[in-house]
A and B are shown apart, each in its own frame.
Chain A
Amino acid sequence: MFFLRNKLHFVVVLIFLSSCSSMNVTEENVGSDEVKTVKASSARSENINYDTMAVFANATVYFEFDKSSLTSKSIQTLKSAVNALNENSSINITLSGHADERGTREYNLALGQRRAEAVSDYFVLNGISKNRITVKSFGEEKPVAFGQDETSYSKNRRVEIN
């Protein structure tokens, strides 16, 4: 058992007061620190939608640092995505938001979500049913570029549409 110290471990502190000094006397047991390793099942469904892949190959929009607003370039990309979605009413899409590595991981997870939501909002405003859209974030956990520079960072601040 891990840290079963309450039962196994006892500390006896006796303070001896002599004429001019005191001494601490202690006795204790080292607690066990056994651990059980768990393997997460890799049964993650990839959910690859090949119809969608064909239509939206490379459909990715990019963002500024700590921003989730759509740039004019992003809007161009999204306009063609809206057309494709209107022409293929049977397909659903997943929007995955991402952030660059600067800043804290949880804040970046939330930021990736905001970016994906911003794209989702654009689709909904342009007549795409919310039911067809799944939104999620990977924060800074799944970069596509690995440098410590703005070129890499700008590639990682993205929402992937597939």
Chain B
Amino acid sequence: MKKFLLLVCFSGFISSELILEITQGTEDPFRVAIIKFNGDNKATSEIDQIIKNNLMRSGEFKIFDNDDLLSLPKDEDEIVFNDFRILNIDYLIIGNLINESSNIKAEYKVYDIRKGSKVRSSTVFGIPNKNRQLAHYISDGIYEEITGIKGIASTKILYVTQNKDYRLVVADADGKNEQILLESSEPIISPSWSPDSKKVAYVSFETGIAKVFIQDIASGNREVVIENSSQISSPAWSPDGKFLSLTMYQDGNAEIYILNLKNKNLTRLTNHYAIDTESTWSKKGSKIMFTSGRSGSPQLYEINLRKSNARPKRITFEGNYNAKGAYLPNNEGIVFVHRANTSFQIALKYFDENFIRPLTESQMDESPSISPNGNVIVYSIKEEGTGLLSGVTLSGAKFKLPAAEGSVREPAWSGFLR
């Protein structure tokens, strides 16, 4: 395991796994007291740590735990609100972990300290030996209650690792609980979720050339999407799950097509002698953004699917390398790979602004993928030639996910699963 770097402004507790390296975060974070839940000490310690990590990673919270507080109420009757007001705490969380035979459940309550009242009372029924998942659900409940925004602790991240072999892996949003979807001796690239998060599409070179596969996560059933002898790559699902956009090379050059998954009809979207690839759909499915070399360097373009014969419209103009774009869930802008001098960074551009905002500053930042609530971007970085995953919140907080075995890259964030 990697060593952690202790942060300054969120030094409420120490995590042995999550690496929070820069923590601008929001200037005015929610100040939240989390009392360790009542119940079996080992289980509640684990759950306590996971919940705090999840909330900290959002960059929007300052957490106070047992060591920071003046009193440690076990239940509602014991709460002295002034003990929390004196520390300028906004919210208090208390809870119980109840383990009856093989059933496990957590009950927790959220109190608004200023008002001196309970604002949430929740019960989560868990699965035996899945305390991490239980903790993620509790984290999301707390996050939603306080911020009013859906939480992402219970979502998943898909990525590729390369050690001796290549692996397609799915893990919790904190990088833990890794599960292998595919193992191969040949490269795997471009993993992508179906909109319902039950299937994945990816490019595998197992047959000797790039081919797009769709795999059902639970059953492991998979198929090649188009059976022919030519190279196919860069799959992206339409938001309704009915279409897959692809890059096809049958004419020798990379062109984007749309595949109807039901009747397998193909519609050609681009026609240019330059490279066209890395297609992605807007959240309503009305536009496709892609990378094209038609201006002489890679730039991002959009095609409006609602207009017939619509021409691609160029949308990036700064610098000579802008590629692999992703739409923000609210459609207010895009995130993409931007080359600044010699380094590749993740950049953000809002549609109503005429400049780009760099979000990262290392040398080889790639593959941005946005959380379904739009608040966090996960991307790959390189350190001494090895790939790692990093995250940055739109508020500026940064973190690294714990290193999996081998070189890690191409993260793809699932939809909401809870």
Partners in one complex: yes
Residues in A lying within 8 Å of B, measured CB to CB: 1-5, 9, 20-42, 44-45, 47, 66, 101-107, 109-111, 113-114, 117, 120, 135-139, 141-142, 146-148
For B218, give the chain A residue with the smallest CB separation: A2
Q: CB distance A30 to B130 under 8 Å?
A: yes
Report the Cα distance A32→B156, complex, angstroms: 12
Residues in B lying within 8 Å of A, measured CB to CB: 112, 115, 117-127, 130, 133-134, 137, 141, 145, 156, 170, 177, 179-187, 189-190, 196-198, 204-210, 215, 217-220, 222, 231, 233-234, 247, 249, 252-254, 275-278, 291, 293, 297-298, 321, 323-324, 337, 339, 344, 363-364, 366-367, 382, 385, 409-410, 417-418
Q: Which 5 A/B pairs are nearest by Cβ-Cβ distance?
A: A36-B220, A40-B184, A2-B218, A110-B254, A141-B187
Q: CB distance B249 to A113 under 8 Å?
A: yes
A-B contact pairs, 15 of them (CB 8 A): A21-B119, A24-B145, A26-B123, A29-B125, A30-B134, A35-B218, A37-B181, A38-B215, A39-B184, A42-B186, A44-B185, A66-B298, A107-B291, A120-B252, A142-B187
Report the Cα distance A37→B367, complex, angstroms: 24
Q: CB distance B115 to A21 under 8 Å?
A: yes
Question: A3-B217, A111-B275 are known contacts. Are A35 and B179 too (CB-CB below 8 A)?
Answer: yes
Q: CB distance B337 to A104 under 8 Å?
A: yes
Report the Cα distance A24→B141, complex, angstroms: 10
For A36, give the chain B residue with the smallest CB separation: B220
Inter-chain residue pair count (beta carbon < 8 A): 209
Report the Cα distance A147→B384, complex, angstroms: 9
Q: CB distance B205 to A36 under 8 Å?
A: no
Report the Cα distance A105→B367, complex, angstroms: 9
Q: CB distance A28 to B125 under 8 Å?
A: yes
Report the Cα distance A139→B187, complex, angstroms: 10
For A35, give the chain B residue with the smallest CB separation: B179
Question: A40-B186, A44-B185, A44-B206 are known contacts. Are A30 and B125 too (CB-CB below 8 A)?
Answer: yes
Chain A residues lying within 8 Å of B222, measured Cβ to Cβ, are 38
Report the Cα distance A138→B410, complex, angstroms: 16
Report the Cα distance A148→B145, complex, angstroms: 46
Report the Cα distance A28→B124, complex, angstroms: 5
Chain A nearest CB, measured from B11 CB (Å): 31
Report the Cα distance A44→B185, complex, angstroms: 9
Q: CB distance A37 to B183 under 8 Å?
A: yes
For B172, give the chain A residue with the smallest CB separation: A33
Chain A residues lying within 8 Å of B184, measured Cβ to Cβ, are 39-40, 42
Chain B residues lying within 8 Å of A32, measured Cβ to Cβ, are 127, 130
Question: A44-B186, A104-B367 are known contacts. Are A36 and B219 too (CB-CB below 8 A)?
Answer: yes
Chain B nearest CB, measured from A114 CB (Å): 7
Question: A3-B197, A30-B130 are known contacts. Are A35 and B234 too (CB-CB below 8 A)?
Answer: no
Report the Cα distance A5→B208, complex, angstroms: 37
Question: A21-B119, A37-B182 are known contacts. Are A113 and B187 too (CB-CB below 8 A)?
Answer: no
From B117, B122, B339, A21 is in contact (CB under 8 Å) with: B117
Question: A36-B220, A40-B206, A110-B254 are known contacts. Are A24 and B181 too (CB-CB below 8 A)?
Answer: no
Q: CB distance B218 to A36 under 8 Å?
A: yes
Chain B residues lying within 8 Å of A117, measured Cβ to Cβ, are 252-253
Chain A residues lying within 8 Å of B339, measured Cβ to Cβ, are 103
Q: CB distance A38 to B183 under 8 Å?
A: yes
Chain B residues lying within 8 Å of A44, measured Cβ to Cβ, are 185-186, 206-208
Q: CB distance A34 to B218 under 8 Å?
A: yes
Chain B residues lying within 8 Å of A28, measured Cβ to Cβ, are 122-125, 137, 418
Q: CB distance A33 to B133 under 8 Å?
A: yes
Q: CB distance A107 to B278 under 8 Å?
A: yes
Q: CB distance B219 to A27 under 8 Å?
A: no
Q: CB distance A107 to B205 under 8 Å?
A: no
For A37, give the chain B residue with the smallest CB separation: B180
Q: CB distance A110 to B275 under 8 Å?
A: yes
Chain A residues lying within 8 Å of B204, measured Cβ to Cβ, are 40
